Amino acid sequence: MEIKLKLNGRAVTGSVDADTILLDFLRQKGCLSVKRGCDTSNCGLCTVLMDGKPILSCSMLAARADGHEIYTLEGLQEEAAEFTGFIADQGADQCGFCNPGFVMNTIALLRENPDPSDDEIRAFLAGNLCRCSGYEGQLRGIRTFLESRRA
């Protein structure tokens, strides 16, 4: 079947099977920031924004995205650049595999709640798993970003 959606601000069309997963469709369209981690809706690595809300692209049919608007990290570089340097400065990433999902969900967090507390950050990012870091580095990075913005 043919689907038509807005991807990173541009209209795209594509031919998909009934069970094509959105993640695979997005990668076919060149959005390689979208990665498969667990494939069981647990790790958050495949996070994209659909109509502004963070969702798991590994668990969504491409057909269901027909007529909707999707943003991946490729389309949100500027917004991401505001805070990713702070996370890197804390040495938060080790292998870096979880990073795109973390960044996408942090964008969603900061849009919804521009000045979150530590507990609100932890709660919002609870669905993003990282096998290396223990999460403290990411938390410190976001905190320093928020402090710099307040200053």
Partner 1 sequence: MITIQKYVRAQSLEEAWELNQSKRNRIIGGMLWLRLGSGSVNTAIDLSGLGLNTIEETDEEFSIGAMVSLRDLEMHEGLNSYSCGAVKNAVKDIVGVQFRNMATVGGSIWGRFGFSDVLTVFLALDTYVELYKGGIMSLEEFASMRADNDILVRIIVKKTPGKAVYTSMRNQRTDFPVLACAVSCLDGEYRLSVGARPARARVFRDEKGILAGGITEQSAKDFAQYAGKTVHTGSNMRGSAVYRSHLVKVLTERSLQELGGM
Residues of span 65-104 touching partner 1 by CB under 8 A: 66
Measured from the CB atom, the residue of 64 and 149 that comes closer to ligand FAD is 64
3-class state of residue 110 by DSSP? helix
User: Helix (H) and strand (E) counts for the chain?
Assistant: 5, 5
Question: Which residues touch 7 (CB under 8 Å, ≥6 apart)?
Answer: 26, 29, 31, 70, 71, 72, 75
Residues of span 15-44 touching partner 1 by CB under 8 A: 17-19, 39-42, 44
Residue with tokens 């973390």: 102
142 binds ligand FES (CB under 6 A): no
Residues of span 30-69 touching ligand FES by CB under 6 A: 36-39, 41-46, 56, 58
**Nearest-approach distance from CB 24 to partner 1, in angstroms:** 12
